[in-house]
Structure 1
Amino acid sequence: MTKTIDVQLNAKAVAELKKGYPLILKDAVLNPQVLKEEGSIIKLVDRNWRFVAKGYYGVQNKGIGWVLTRKENEAIDFDFFKSRIAAALKRRESLFEDADTTAFRVFNGEGDGIGGLTIDYYDGYYVVSWYSEGIYSLKHHIYNVLEKIVEYKAVYEKKRFDTKGQYIEQDDFVKGEPGDFPIIVKENGMNFAVDLNDGAMTGIFLDQRDVRKAIHDKYAEGRTVLNTFSYTGAFSVAASLGGAAKTVSVDLASRSESKTIEQFSVNGIDYEQQEIRVMDVFDYFRYAKRHELKFGLVILDPPSFARSKKYTFSTARNYPELVKDAIAVTEKNGFIVASTNNASFGMKRFKTFIDRAFKETNTRYKILEESSLPRDFRSNRDFPEFNYLKVVILQKLN
């Protein structure tokens, strides 16, 4: 039986948790000496030992665990996990019924009631991602639930927490019939090749589905498109299928070229008519300026932090400079898709980065649309920090 321990919280944390805040912050704990074994069920109490909530102990970034229930007598057992996962699956019924989209998120951590756990669906295959040793120690419940309530081809897992500096080479496969990768999934009718057994990445970021649709439907037709930090070229595929005259995909990772070729190929796109460059994005911007290249659509979706031999990039510090680079190579009335997954700042601050770049380059612009996570990436509106994705699509006016 999982051990339950009493954890005292300061008054500020108690107030926040009573409002629905799900993360248990490290500096909120008054008796940290009781926290010893990750995966322990913790009863959260105030200074007077009055019940506030129950959760689990699992270190994740600035938190030491997540609230699971505010009902004192609710057991954290198979039935608890079954109820949360079953409810999440029901919320995605329309996606399961959509033949044009066969890859999406079916369980989104704290948004669906269990922080530190996500489950993604890829055309019959499920990928479970664990974000702390604490939630991973409760894996038997989650896997038992999946065994009981879903039909699957196979289940894979990703450990996204520090295993004390030790890397153990292991298969991501958990159970079922192993897939023959890559498999082809659909997203709004577009094809994407994914590999669920190749480290942390699968080949597509599912949280950008709405952005790819917008590029395909509204912004790519007839335009030359520059896709920076292009990863496997998913935005380039959307642009090409949306009628782009040409796409240029730029990423420093050497494997990005073969992966991008693969994504073009599974959509019947002649990759030789596109341009794929394995190089530093900032070097490419300099190259484009030097050769006076202009693009009708520029896509910016950098990692929160990146380091190359020449540069260190942080979205929190360097995004305005990135936008200025994009402005310089965007034609008049062209579009810029500015995106970030950095959770350390909100949309309001992100828009100030964009505004600063345009003001410093004496360039006028208008925001056409802004968005965040798609509906399957469920989050609590009262706590926007968990809705990490920020996307602004704008038009350069001069």
Structure 2
Amino acid sequence: MSDRPAGGWASSIGPVLDPLRRLLPTLHEDDRMIAVCKPPGIDSGVLPGGGPGAAELLARQRGLADDALVPANRLSRYDSGVLVLVRDDALLRHVRAGLRRGRIQQVYELVAKGSLRGQRLELRPAGSAPAGTGPKRNRRPAGKPHPEAREPTGEGIEERPTIADLRVLHRGGDRLHIRCDTNARSTHELRAMLRAAGLHVFGDTMGGRPGRDQSVTQSCTHLSRFAFHHPALGRKLTISAPPAIGFQETAEGDDPLQRRLVAALAARLECLQDESTNAVRLLNGAADGVPGLVVERLDHVLIVQVLEDHCTLSAAEVRRVSGFFRDWFGASAVYRKRFPKDRASPDPRIEAELSDPQPMLGTPAPAEIEIRERGVTFVVRPYDGYSTGLFLDHRDNRARVRDLADGRRVLNLFAYTCGFSVAAALGGAARTVSVDLSRTHLERGKEHFRRNGLALDEHTFVASEAFDYFKRAQRQGRTFDFVILDPPTFARLKRPRRTFNVQRDLPALVAEASRLLEGGGILMVSTNCRQMTRSALQAAVRAGLERRAKVLAEPPLPPDFASDPDFAKTVFLRVT
């Protein structure tokens, strides 16, 4: 990973007080438009079924409606560079008409596979005239405004053929780092022209064999300059972006790791902008292009998980990645947790590291630190085993439980440190019962109640295995209006000695839970078993239910986990 500044996205050191301003730096702003440098990893604007893009996040930051800023030029999620966002319809029509007619000059940086004789090449549509041989443009009479200064009407504006003037900046084997001056209508048109010339841009998965082994996350397309006549200013406006991240390294055959890290942060901008939450997953392994490495932010502390059977980075590279995120967030400590290939045979060195207050980077953190999640306080332990005390992928599920819990009697099985129970209590639950095998975890759950100002009078904590608790509750005649099941994928139980496998045992678990559920009650079932698809989860739940049920929601994962949709699945049902 290069140590040079990351093209305006990672050039300063210290805590990120405004992630949006740093990841989407403003290049130009006036009354009618804003131009920013879009990083890889975020859409230009919202797409169907997707979260907010750069346009919506910038609008929210300025207190505007989500649709107040509209992308005039579109860059795909993993492209980067100049993004023009306009505030009024007239300028939007003007810029888009300029693009359609080939009247806007753009400069791209690209990395492509292929060969190019010499240092320059001009690409033109088949049958078009060479430069300088086409018909002369009509001269404008004195005093007449430039045609681009008028709002386009579709008449009288010359449409120009697409031209791409390529210049090689760097050669690396069969890879070329290219500058491209063009008036292309879109990146799609530009890539098609390059493919026709035998040049395949990295991240372009279309066009045959060269793209089959690539992912769009490897895109090396950066719009470094965008020039057009601005009607309100009455002159040509040229907007330039900082250099692209990692293009030269890609051309030389290296892995542009820093670009992937910036893309991971950009994909999480919605989370990073939430001032009520300071616990976020920053990097999600292979889903963010860095297999075997997970990074989480817990306020001023970072946790780096190294999954040794998947991680391909060296120890030095792991430290550099850790340093990158430490500098971004001004973290005081970075703790490494190594997950060995075989956890059944513990390595004493790894076990010792898991409980060592001395971090890999920084100064020791307290044994317990408070974090915020949507305004709710939780306590995590950065060096107390493999887990810290809160599963961040359930952030949205805890919020949903809080919204649904008012007046309900809630049973939380496999409660761990009782995050769902706290959410239910804050949502007005009449009573909660938290069941977990570990008394230590339940004590931590009680502390979570206290930290949120919740009295324990109507909230019970039971150290028990789930099936044993079902028997006890049935004997006591207990019933509930809301049951939460978040079982482990696999567990070994001692009394009696047996195992729990979620794929095998979930129907039986649901059957027992439903017997305690009043008519009209809500059942939430969640699993992080990768082998269980969403449809398989629903099938297992319905196999266990002895009553009719209606699906209320199958919520997606939060934005910081959304890059890996198979990480966990959840379903909420109303049982009649």
Q: Aligning the two structures, in what range does the TM-score lie when normalised by the shorter sequence?
A: 0.7 to 0.9
Matched, 1:375 2:554: no
Q: In structure 2, what is the equivalent of residue 8 of structure 1?
A: none
Query: What is the aligned counterpart of 2:381 among 195, 198, 202?
Result: 195
Matched, 1:286 2:462: no
CA offset digits 1:128-160 (Å, max 9, x no partner): 101115637523223224424422121111111
Q: Decide whether aligned partners of structure 1 residues 306 and 199 sit closer, same or farther in structure 2, where only a CA change above 3 A counts.
A: same
Letter in 2 for 1:167: P
Distance 2:444 2:253 in 1: 47
Decide whether the 8 Å contact of 2:270 with 2:559 is kept in 1: no
Q: Where in structure 2 are there 5+ consecutive unaligned residues?
A: 1-209, 215-246
Distance 1:183 1:284 in 2: 32
302-311 vs 233-242, which moves further: 302-311
Decide whether the 8 Å contact of 1:372 with 1:388 is kept in 2: no
Query: What is the aligned counterpart of 1:352 among 532, 539, 545?
Result: 539
Q: In structure 2, what is the equivalent of residue 155 of structure 1?
A: 334
Distance 1:388 1:92 in 2: 16
Q: In structure 2, what is the equivalent of residue 338 of structure 1?
A: 525
Letter in 2 for 1:301: D
Q: Where in structure 1 are there 5+ consecutive unaligned residues?
A: 1-49, 55-68
> How much has 1:230 moved relative to structure 2?
0.4
Counterpart secondary structure, 2:521: strand
- Give matches, 1:75-224, under 5 Å: 75-76=254-255, 80-132=256-308, 135=311, 138-148=314-324, 149-150=327-328, 151-162=330-341, 165=345, 166-168=347-349, 169-170=352-353, 171=356, 173-217=359-403, 219-224=404-409
Decide whether the 8 Å contact of 2:435 with 2:462 is kept in 1: yes
Decide whether the 8 Å contact of 1:222 with 1:243 is kept in 2: yes
Matched, 1:271 2:462: no
Q: Decide whether aligned partners of structure 1 residues 189 and 135 sit closer, same or farther in structure 2, where only a CA change above 3 A counts.
A: same
> How much has 1:93 moved relative to structure 2?
2.6
Distance 1:204 1:367 in 2: 26
Counterpart secondary structure, 1:324: helix
Letter in 1 for 2:382: L
Q: Decide whether aligned partners of structure 1 residues 244 and 293 sit closer, same or farther in structure 2, where only a CA change above 3 A counts.
A: same
- Equivalent residue pairs, number: 323
CA offset digits 1:239-275 (Å, max 9, x no partner): 0001101110000113122111111111111124310
Matched, 1:365 2:549: yes
Decide whether the 8 Å contact of 2:367 with 2:381 is kept in 1: yes
Rg: which structure is higher?
Answer: 2
Distance 1:190 1:117 in 2: 28
146-155 vs 315-324, which moves further: 146-155
Matched, 1:396 2:572: no
Q: In structure 1, what is the equivalent of residue 92 of structure 2?
A: none
> How much has 1:212 moved relative to structure 2?
0.3
Q: Decide whether aligned partners of structure 1 residues 192 and 72 sit closer, same or farther in structure 2, where only a CA change above 3 A counts.
A: same
Distance 2:569 2:369 in 1: 29
Matched, 1:261 2:463: no
Q: In structure 1, what is the equivalent of residue 91 of structure 2?
A: none
Decide whether the 8 Å contact of 1:256 with 1:278 is kept in 2: no
Q: Which runs of 4+ in 1 moved over 6 A?
A: none
Q: CA RMSD in A?
A: 2.4
Distance 1:90 1:134 in 2: 24
> How much has 1:365 moved relative to structure 2?
0.9
> How much has 1:51 moved relative to structure 2?
11
Matched, 1:226 2:402: no
Q: TM-score, normalised by structure 2?
A: 0.53
Counterpart secondary structure, 1:200: coil
Distance 1:130 1:114 in 2: 11
Q: Decide whether aligned partners of structure 1 residues 135 and 295 sit closer, same or farther in structure 2, where only a CA change above 3 A counts.
A: same
